[in-house]
Structure 1
Amino acid sequence: MSDLPRKAVTRTAKLATLPLGFAGRATWGLGKRIGGKSAEIVTRELQQRTADQLFKVLGELKGGAMKFGQALSVFESALPEEIAGPYRAALTKLQEAAPPMPTRTVHAVLVERLGEEWRELFVEFDDKPSAAASIGQVHRAVWHDGRAVAVKVQYPGAGEALLSDLTQLSRFARLLGPLIPGMDIKPLITELRDRVSEELDYALEAEAQRAHAAEFADDPDVVVPEVVHQGEQVLVTEWMEGVPLAEVISGGTREQRDRAGQLLARFLFSGPARTGLLHADPHPGNFRLLPAAAGAGGSGAGIEVGAEGEEGGAGAFRLGVLDFGTVDRLPGGLPDIIGEALRTALAGDAQAVYDRLCEEGFVKGSIDLDPDAVLEYLLPIIEPTAVEEFTFTRSWMREQATRIADPRSPAHQLGKQLNLPPSYLLIHRVTLSTIGVLCQLNATVGLREELESWLPGFLAKPAPDDGAGIEAEV
């Protein structure tokens, strides 16, 4: 395979094959119908061909196109099952793999960033990548001190490619819309474009990963690899074995799915409270399931996906977290209004919920809404927080997506009048994406427990002690 295409005209031409391919396959489908095949069979074949082409084009381009594919993959739970089936396999591939960068290109980057004698830094270096993602690929190696390490090498021209791809994809947003019915694709692409510059900066990524690794160093539930070395286009971290979350989704036991879901929710809400940072790329490729004794550099032995009765039970599993290239900086943790709005909504206090949403800009000053209607809109969405345990399913996710997306629905009409302040864009996307992964896992999760422990404002503040109790005792 050739190097990552960098010229805008080349990449635009490849992206243009997506809408052209849609049209061509529609014509092919009509021909099959005329030839006597049933509509159901033709539709299934058509969707499979579309999924195959989507993976091929986005995977070859990497860059922003690949990032877009990863973003879409966490929303597949919202698709109607007859559409989701053919796309699921192709989109899942985007989470774990992509066509690799040529070895000569990898070596050229290492020479440029680590020096002519770069091989002396390693005892071993595997030229075959272990993973390929949107802006770089990862090679397994052994550092000169004997540690197993992951070497992330950024694709040459990745920055230019990211911005170019996302600009071009925004022009095709209307044609790509049917991939996720009811979702407005263009704002998703715009938001991705606004964030890619941070992901290209390995110094920022190393800083965020070091902060998480230090905070979670002795954590019984979460493992974050240490940063070993950081350069402009090269990032070396400790290697982490484990079962990719995508494999747990496709073949994990009930115990594995529930434990992975619980830890994913715990990491989502505890991370900002403990580090002031929100891991903002929660697609399954960035998580591993580890046995209790494993850590960075440890073995993944002890977890067999689909195997029942692992020694130590569900509590033996830990969640490994990778890729801190995209984070939201929240020095005070998640905003109090999220917890406060959830608490007052669950209490049925429509006016209090509405007032807080107005204060924070979720309802613009020029718009007047019925507080009871707003509460009615919110309650089905926050159902998982109202109970001790909730089972996240694709059917529940599709039900919510349909309710909000249907133009005939009161929820759709009200939702159009709500506003999402820019400072909440990333929090909103991460939350939705995490819920999408929980639905893919079909996990039963005690979400309320995590909110009570980590979400500011979710628990009512105790009334101030005015001393009356002491005086009464005296």
Structure 2
Amino acid sequence: MRGAAMKLGQMISMDAGDILPPEFTQILARLRDQAHHMTARQLDEVLTAEWGVQWRARLSGFQGTPIAAASIGQVHRGRLPDGREIAIKIQYPGIARSIDADVDNVATLLRVTGLLPRELDLGPLLIEAKHQLHEEANYLREAWMMERYGELVGKDRAYLVPLPIPTLTTERILAMDYVEGTPIEAVAFAPQETRDAVAQALAQLVLRELFEWGVMQTDPNFANYRWQETTGRLVLLDFGAAREVPSVTAGGYHRLLMAALDGNRDEVRTAAVDAGFLGSAAASKHRRVIDEMIDVILAELGKPGPFDFGDRAFLGLLREQAAILAGDRTTWHLPPTDTLFVQRKISGTALLAARLKAHVDINRMIASYRDRGPAAMTDFSPKQ
């Protein structure tokens, strides 16, 4: 599987063990960093089309076996004539042309299996999903995003963003510095202090994206992070899914989070409806169940000390209550697309923190944004 279908599998595989059987999760997890590789002939055809017949002359070394392969392209190591080690992401042939059909096929699968009610209008989400995937398939845009993210991170020693190499980057090839790092999931075996530091850096990144930068890398695939034990830095990879966060979306999250910090159930419910998380029909018809769910969440957030992401016992109760809402298909609701993409990043970050069994003082981090609302969006439109 490649393209949109593979991305769906990657997202499903990020389950933290609360929904899927562990055996199924392990199988799907291979999608995060493995896929069928291009043949040597296909690889040569892409490189020749993008770099010319003498493409090997641009490098002093090229590793033919990819070091990673995902939904849109595969990554190879290379070396410049000056000895600089680089990573080269090469797009699968025809992948951009297949995006629209892939998304439509996934939507058809959801429909024919009855997983979604026919009354639910997927149109806006499908349009945005296609747009997002087409942007991810434009490596010139991703290189620009990578540069901008590097500027936003600046001198913050918690993060490291590779530098793209403009002279070797095209719409279908992205060349960048090769950065050493340990797969983020391996940190699960590190000491508690290290796991906590990694999770804190991940959570702080989300808050900065949402409330300071006005732009967010919305793909929380675990393969998009690495950890450098020697420097204590989180390596950020893959900026194809970086997108602007409208101020109204960030404002909705700000109101919701501040209400949660205050333990105000009514305000949380109202903010959830206003932000589009919750449909007004469900909020009215199932208010008791929704209030019970909010109370569970507020009780967890209200516990003293750092939040224990590894303690997920409360999710069982939430699943039981959510099943009641899910059973009433007449009140199903599709949140705004910007909210869905932001929530994808937030949920994925929480899942990774759960995988690490990390302890993070998330309340203190959120509270630091109480008196400074969401910033205006950063101009993240690639310059022409």
- The reply to whether TM is greater than 0.5 is yes
Q: Which runs of 5+ in 1 are unaligned?
A: 1-60, 179-183, 294-316, 460-474
Distance 1:165 1:401, change over 3 A: farther
3-state secondary structure, aligned to 1:162: helix
Q: Say which is worse superposed, 360-369 or 192-201, in terms of deviation.
A: 360-369
The higher relative CO (CA closer than 8 Å, separation ≥ 6) is in 2
C-alpha separation between the residues in 1 aligned to 2:103 and 2:329? Answer: 30
Displacement, 1:319?
A: 0.9
Displacement, 1:326?
A: 0.5
Distance 1:175 1:97, change over 3 A: farther
1:165 — aligned with what? 102
The residue identity in structure 1 corresponding to 2:296 is P
Q: Is the 8 A contact 1:350 1:371 kept in 2?
A: no
Q: Is the 8 A contact 2:80 2:86 kept in 1?
A: yes
Displacement, 1:125?
A: 1.1
Return the match for 1:402 from 304, 313, 319: 319
C-alpha separation between the residues in 2 aligned to 1:433 and 1:291? Answer: 22
Pairing 1:73-84 to 2, within 5 Å after superposition: 73-79=13-19, 83-84=20-21
Q: Is the 8 A contact 2:306 2:360 kept in 1?
A: yes
1:114 — aligned with what? 51
1:377 — aligned with what? 293
Aligned residue pairs, count: 364
Return the match for 2:10 from 44, 53, 70: 70
C-alpha separation between the residues in 2 aligned to 1:392 and 1:375? Answer: 22
3-state secondary structure, aligned to 1:341: helix
3-state secondary structure, aligned to 1:282: coil
Displacement, 1:176?
A: 7.4
Distance 1:207 1:452, change over 3 A: farther
2:176 — aligned with what? 237
Q: Say which is worse superposed, 416-425 or 116-125, in terms of deviation.
A: 416-425
3-state secondary structure, aligned to 1:146: coil
Q: Is the 8 A contact 1:390 1:447 kept in 2?
A: yes
Q: Is the 8 A contact 1:340 1:458 kept in 2?
A: no
1:444 — aligned with what? 359
Return the match for 1:327 from 228, 242, 247: 242
C-alpha separation between the residues in 1 aligned to 2:216 and 2:64? Answer: 33
TM-score of the two chains, using structure 1 as the length reference: 0.67
Q: Is the 8 A contact 1:272 1:333 kept in 2?
A: no
Q: Is the 8 A contact 1:210 1:227 kept in 2?
A: yes
2:380 — aligned with what? none
The residue identity in structure 2 corresponding to 1:255 is E
Displacement, 1:358?
A: 4.9
1:213 — aligned with what? 150
Pairing 1:84-233 to 2, within 5 Å after superposition: 84-173=21-110, 190=126, 192-229=129-166, 230-233=169-172
Q: Is the 8 A contact 1:149 1:236 kept in 2?
A: yes
3-state secondary structure, aligned to 1:149: strand
2:346 — aligned with what? 431
Q: Is the 8 A contact 2:157 2:233 kept in 1?
A: yes
The residue identity in structure 1 corresponding to 2:216 is L
Q: Is the 8 A contact 1:246 1:284 kept in 2?
A: yes
C-alpha separation between the residues in 1 aligned to 2:145 and 2:370? Answer: 21
Displacement, 1:235?
A: 0.5
Tell which structure's C-alpha radius of gyration is larger. Answer: 1
1:176-216 CA distance string (max 9 Å, x none): 799xxxxx9x8999464452111111122112111111222
Distance 1:398 1:96, change over 3 A: farther
Q: Is the 8 A contact 2:263 2:302 kept in 1?
A: no
1:283 — aligned with what? 221
Identity of aligned residues (%): 26
1:43 — aligned with what? none
1:293-335 CA distance string (max 9 Å, x none): 3xxxxxxxxxxxxxxxxxxxxxxx2211110010221265961
The residue identity in structure 2 corresponding to 1:131 is A
Pairing 1:344-423 to 2, within 5 Å after superposition: 344-362=259-277, 369=284, 374-381=290-297, 385-387=301-303, 388-393=305-310, 395-396=312-313, 398-399=315-316, 402-407=319-324, 416=331, 420-423=335-338
C-alpha separation between the residues in 1 aligned to 2:207 and 2:294? Answer: 20
Distance 1:385 1:337, change over 3 A: farther
Q: Is the 8 A contact 1:350 1:372 kept in 2?
A: no
Q: Say which is worse superposed, 266-275 or 152-161, in terms of deviation.
A: 266-275
1:471 — aligned with what? none
Q: Say which is worse superposed, 215-224 or 395-404, in terms of deviation.
A: 395-404
3-state secondary structure, aligned to 1:399: helix
3-state secondary structure, aligned to 1:77: coil
C-alpha separation between the residues in 2 aligned to 1:420 and 1:187? Answer: 12
The residue identity in structure 2 corresponding to 1:391 is D
C-alpha separation between the residues in 2 aligned to 1:155 and 1:278? Answer: 25
TM-score of the two chains, using structure 2 as the length reference: 0.82
Q: Which runs of 5+ in 2 are unaligned?
A: 375-384
